Amino acid sequence: MEHRNYIVSMSPHVRGGQSIETMMSTFIIGLIPTALAAIYFFGIRSLIIMVLSMATAVIVEALIETLTHQKRTFRDCHALLIGLLFALILPSSVPWWIPVVGATVAIVLGKALFGGLGNYPFNPVLVAWVVLRLSWPERMSLFFEPHTTTQILTPLMAFKEDPSLFYSYNLSSLFLGQKPGLMGTVCNLAILIGALFILYRGVIRWHIPLSFFAGIACFAAVLRYINADVYPPVTFHLIGGGVFLAAFFLAPEPVTSPVTPTGMITFGFLAGILTMIIRMWGAFPDGSFYAILIMNSATPLFNYLKPKVYGRSYSA
């Protein structure tokens, strides 16, 4: 009987777990409830923004890989994820060219310039968001009332102008999404459903989201304790702005977040506190995106918070 030559390689001889494609598509599936909620609250306009952003991201990545003769990896769903996430942190009022420019910036400046997936130090989505926020501030902070095209301030912006206003919002509308805001941040329920899915599939772990919430809650609770008349309740801070999306989809982004359990908890907690500092005393109404971007730069440091290597106390 003729036998083929056997393959020889190092163990392990079987593979399991996830691939980059399944990981990224799990993230995208996790964002579907949020995207549907955005379409429900802000109409077909938000669907067009999302499609434009995703298409641009994939096309730009494919172009870059062709022009620079790199391995074609644009099909791995990562560009698609960047496009979708970027669209979800835009207000629904933006003109058509904002998602196109933003997705291009995210792929070129955020990802490709640093060497592609695995090498960028900052979350590309947030890099693009900051570039656009600073370049066209008035277009990036124009919010519509849900189901209409009436201009209105978001809860956090209103609070910045007049601290007593937060009593005019009821908690259920803040949680379910009946409020002005970024497309992907209004409906916390939808984000939570998607987040439970990605947690269950194991692509993110509980450490960063939970400690991020803990950081915000602790800081807000202390402020509330000091002066309950000026500072809003903890729940307002947790569900009033973009904290849910930031905690579940932006902060635990694999490349730019720490890998050790202690590192992840510290990262999340400090990002939460930084969010509160920016909200309270910074120039911007919602600080969670900036906070994550700043913490990204310290990610290599958090990886020094290592677990004890097994059996090491004995010999070292």
- Chain positions contacting another protein, by CB under 8 A: 1-20, 22-23, 73, 115-119, 202-203, 205, 254-261, 264, 303, 306-316
Our CB check for another protein shows the closer of 37 and 208 to be: 208
Our CB check for another protein shows the closer of 120 and 166 to be: 120
Torsions phi, psi of 152, nearest 5?
-155, 160
Our CB check for another protein shows the closer of 73 and 173 to be: 73
E-strand ranges in the chain read 143-144, 151-152
Decide: helix, strand or coil at residue 228: coil
Our CB check for another protein shows the closer of 2 and 229 to be: 2
Question: In angstroms, what is the minimal distance from the CB of 20 to another protein?
Answer: 5
Exposure pattern of 184-199 as b/e (b: 16+ CB <10 Å)? bbbbbbbbeebbebbb
Place of tokens 């992840």: 264
Question: In angstroms, what is the minimal distance from the CB of 309 to another protein?
Answer: 4
What number of other Cβ atoms are within 10 A of residue 39's Cβ? 17
Helices then strands (H, E): number in the chain? 16, 2
Our CB check for another protein shows the closer of 27 and 166 to be: 27
Our CB check for another protein shows the closer of 65 and 145 to be: 65
Question: In angstroms, what is the minimal distance from the CB of 122 to another protein?
Answer: 13
Question: In angstroms, what is the minimal distance from the CB of 1 to another protein?
Answer: 7
Query: Which residues have CB under 8 Å from 284's CB, separation 6+?
Result: 278, 290
Q: DSSP string covering 244-260, please?
A: HHIIIIITT-TTTS--S
Cα–Cα separations (whole angstroms), residue 35 to 135, 192, 210, 254, 259? 26, 13, 23, 21, 28
Question: In angstroms, what is the minimal distance from the CB of 190 to another protein?
Answer: 25
Question: In angstroms, what is the minimal distance from the CB of 57 to another protein?
Answer: 17
Query: Which residues have CB under 8 Å from 303's CB, separation 6+?
Result: 258, 259, 260, 263
Question: In angstroms, what is the minimal distance from the CB of 254 to another protein?
Answer: 4
Question: In angstroms, what is the minimal distance from the CB of 203 to another protein?
Answer: 8
Taking the CA atoms of residue 293, residue 142, residue 249 and residue 265 in that order, the dihedral angle to the nearest 10 degrees is: 50
Our CB check for another protein shows the closer of 137 and 202 to be: 202
Our CB check for another protein shows the closer of 205 and 224 to be: 205
